[in-house]
Amino acid sequence: MKFFLDTAERDEIQRMTELGFVDGVTTNPSLLKKAGAPYQQVLQEICALVSGPVSAEVVAEDHAGMIAEGRELAAIAENVVIKVPMGSEGLRAVRGLREHGIDCNVTLVFSTNQAILAAKAGARFVSPFIGRLDDVAQEGMQLIEEIVQIYENYEFESELIVASVRHPMHVVDAGLLGADIVTMPTRVLEAMFQHPLTDIGKEKFLAAWRDVPKA
Ligand code: G3P
């Protein structure tokens, strides 16, 4: 089970990388806007911090524009993966970018059919947005369950990235279903370390240690 950080905040990425929990990073235009520096510089800095794949998203709306933008982004660093929006133009761009040896992450996936098409187009990664489905009262994890099963049935090589993760239970559920990767905001990864009984237990042991006879 791999963990990607869904952020463009370099300080957060550095902190979590030092802890050894960052297998990759995903960004999108909203996250790059928050980062508040030229996107090329931000991506370069992220790619220098992380050896795994770093997704950078194209914003062109036709396949030719996506391919051109994707090639520019891929030139930033060796580990850049191009995030392409789901759709006929996006999937055409996936095939085109593959011809240039560039890997893609198909984003904004909200149905099992879309995930099947993305795999057939040769996407290295496919990103269903489960939190946004939960937001509209559709069971995001149901989608993950179906995709995991179908990718197994046909031995599709695409790796599933569970995206739009909002809380640590999403990580647990993704693990139970056997999803390859979870991309999460830093606060979700940080929350995974925490349990109130751990804090209480530590305090009790420290208090006891104060009264342990010492030579
Ligand atoms: O990786 C996709 C993610 O950035 C979208 O998350 O919270 O905006 O639905 P959210």
* pLDDT profile of the chain (215 residues), mean per 10: 98 97 97 95 97 97 98 97 98 98 98 98 98 98 98 98 98 98 98 98 98 96
pLDDT value, residue 24: 98
Counting atoms of ligand 1 from 1, which one is nearest the CA of 131? 9
Query: Residue ranges of the alpha helices (H) in the chain?
Result: 10-19, 29-35, 39-49, 63-74, 88-99, 112-121, 130-135, 140-154, 168-177, 186-192, 196-210
Q: Ligand 1: distance of its center to the CA of 163 in Å?
A: 6
Closest residue CA from atom 7 of ligand 1 = 164
Superfamily of domain 2-210: Aldolase class I (3.20.20.70)
Residue 129 Cβ contacting ligand 1 at under 6 Å:
yes
Mean of the per-residue pLDDT values of the chain = 97
pLDDT value, residue 190: 97
pLDDT value, residue 197: 98
Catalytically active residues, by annotation: 83
- Please choose from 3, 5, 30, 127 the residue to mutate so as to test ligand 1's pocket, defined by most ligand atoms within 8 A of CB: 30
Q: What residues does each domain of the chain span?
A: 2-210
Contact 103, 80 (CB under 8 A): no
* DSSP symbol at 37: S
* 75: Cβ contacts below 8 Å, ≥ 6 apart: none
pLDDT value, residue 205: 98
